[in-house]
Amino acid sequence: MKSMTGFAAFEGSDEGTGWRWEMRSVNARGLDLKFRLPAGFEALDSVLRPLARQALSRGSVNLSLSITRERETVLGRPEAAVIRAAVDVLREVRETAADTGLPLAPVTGETLVPFLLSSGSSAGSRQPEAPVLTEPLKAGFVTALSALGDSRAEEGNRLSRIIAGHLTQIESLIRDAADCAEETVRALRERMIRQVRDLMEDVDRLDPGRLEQEIAVLAAKADVTEEIDRLTSHVEAARNLLAEDSPVGRKLDFLTQEFNREANTLCSKSAADSLTRIGLDLKTVIDQLREQAANVE
């Protein structure tokens, strides 16, 4: 069992560029993939979306990529041609300034050193195109996606234990309801005789056969055996779902609706206060089960 809630991140670098994948997922009725990609990397969406659909079946998932450009500084000796070109430019500037009568402060060759070094550093700044990084980004995406699956599986294990506890509570309440239902006919018979006695002066004149017939009709209407059997069957089905490896969230959600329907019927057919209380307790636990099932993938 996996949850729809999880988080994962993975960092890497290639071609002088650092990158980071972040993935967050929360509950959703279906699978909603939201890619956030930097400018120039939009084409990755069509490459990576099928991979995400293979790994995930439900959840609202944000998949974000951030890019950090790395700068390579070159501090080696500039080439002789570069130095000569810089000197020639400086000479032309001074000659042009002298012809126009523009005064210049004295300058030495050391003035060119910072310029030459900064030029070399600028030459080392790399801005690779997205296609160059497609494969490493794809590999990092797959790694982050696997980590997200592990995160969702870990949360799913926790959910499985909680849901199993709710099913144990439901089983106990079903047994209580079954025990209570056995007393229903006796309670109905006593209640009906008491009501008849209140209405008639001589209850002994009432036809015993007719009285038992009416009691039988009421008992049939109040019989909750089918509801108890179906609730028991639903518990078994839910436990089978917990043991499956495939996504079971939708099936479990449907099953909680069936649980609730049977609990409602049990309460409406109840002929005893004790059975009604058990039915209400059932509805409470089933609602807790439903809340947890809503997190399951």
- Other CB atoms within 10 Å distance of the CB of residue 44: 20
Domain 6-71+127-152 falls in which CATH fold? Ribosomal Protein S5; domain 2 (3.30.230)
- The single residue listed with the structure tokens 């700044």 is 125
Q: Rounded distance, CA 285 to CA 203, Å?
A: 44
Q: Rounded distance, CA 102 to CA 115, Å?
A: 23
Report the predicted TM-score, pTM, of the whole model to 2 decimal places.
0.68
Grouping H, G, I as helix, E, B as strand and the rest as coil, residue 38 is: coil
> Quick one: pLDDT at residue 98?
77
Give residue-wise pLDDT tens across range 173-194: 999 998 887 676 666 666 766 6
Give residue-wise pLDDT tens across range 247-273: 999 999 999 999 999 999 988 888 778
> Quick one: pLDDT at residue 209?
67
Q: What residue segments make up the domains of the chain, in order of their start? A: 6-71+127-152, 80-123, 155-293
Q: Rounded distance, CA 50 to CA 235, Å?
A: 36
Pairing mode of beta strands 31-36, 59-69: parallel
User: Tokens standing for 223?
Assistant: 């019989």
Residue 280 contacts residue 267 (beta carbons within 8 Å): yes
Residue 208 contacts residue 189 (beta carbons within 8 Å): no
Residue ranges for the chain with pLDDT beneath 50: 72-74, 121-127
Architecture of the domain made up of 155-293: Up-down Bundle (1.20)
